[in-house]
Amino acid sequence: MLFHFARSAAAPKPTEIRRKPLAPAECPALTSRHSSYPEPFKSRMGDREKRRLGDPFGLTQFGVNLVRLAQGAQSALRHWHTQEDEFVYVLEGRIALVTDAGEVEIAAGQCIGYPGGDKNAHHFVNRGGETAVYLEVGSRLAGDNAFYPDDDLMWVETETGTKPAHKDGRFYE
C-alpha cells in the first residue's frame, strides 16, 4: 500500500513551499515502525525506510517516496487499490515483484505501474543481500481503498476514522 487511503485525500497546501532542490537525505526517514498496519503485519515490513519527497514542495495531488528495502524487507502487504494509480522506478539493486501471476525480478533502471481498480495484487520483497532503492509515486484520491488477498486485513471507515479489521469485520486492537 503506497499511500494509505485514510491519509490519501489532498492535504492543505503548506504555508512554506520549498523552492530549491532537495537531496533525499534532507527529508526525515520514516521506518517500518511508521506503518499503519496492525501487528503482525507491521513487523513483516522489516528494515524498510521511506522519505516523502513531494511534500516539502507543497505537492498534494500525488505522493513520491524514496524507499530503501534492506534484505528481507518488503514494500507493503500484497494489495491492490480501488482507485489509486501507482508507479515504481528502481534506482539501485534488485527486488522480487510478486503479483497474481507469480514472481519476477525487477532491477535498477526498470519500472512498473499498477492502474487503480485493477485487481492484480502486488508488492516487492527484497530477497537478495543488497539494499534496494526505488522511487514510488501514487495518486492521492479521497475514497481510495486497498484489499489484501493473502492476509486477514481490511480497512473500515467509521465515524471516528478508518480502522483496520479482520475480514470477518472484527477490529484489530
Q: Smaller CB distance to a copy of itself: residue 30 or 112?
A: 112
What is the Cα gyration radius of the chain? 16
Q: Any contact of residue 131 with a copy of itself (CB under 8 A)?
A: no
Q: Which position among 1, 2, 45, 59 is part of the footprint of a copy of itself (CB under 8 A)? A: 59
The interface mask with a copy of itself, positions 86-125, x = CB under 8 A, is: -x-x-x-----x-x-x--xxxx-xxxxxxxx-x-x-----
Q: Any contact of residue 139 with a copy of itself (CB under 8 A)?
A: yes
Q: Which position among 16, 20, 129, 160 is part of the footprint of a copy of itself (CB under 8 A)? A: 20
Give residue for cell 504555508: 15
Q: How far apart are CA 87 and CA 76, in angstroms?
A: 14
How many CB atoms neighbour CB 116 within 10 A? 15
Cell numbers for 63: 505522493
Give residue for cell 534532507: 26
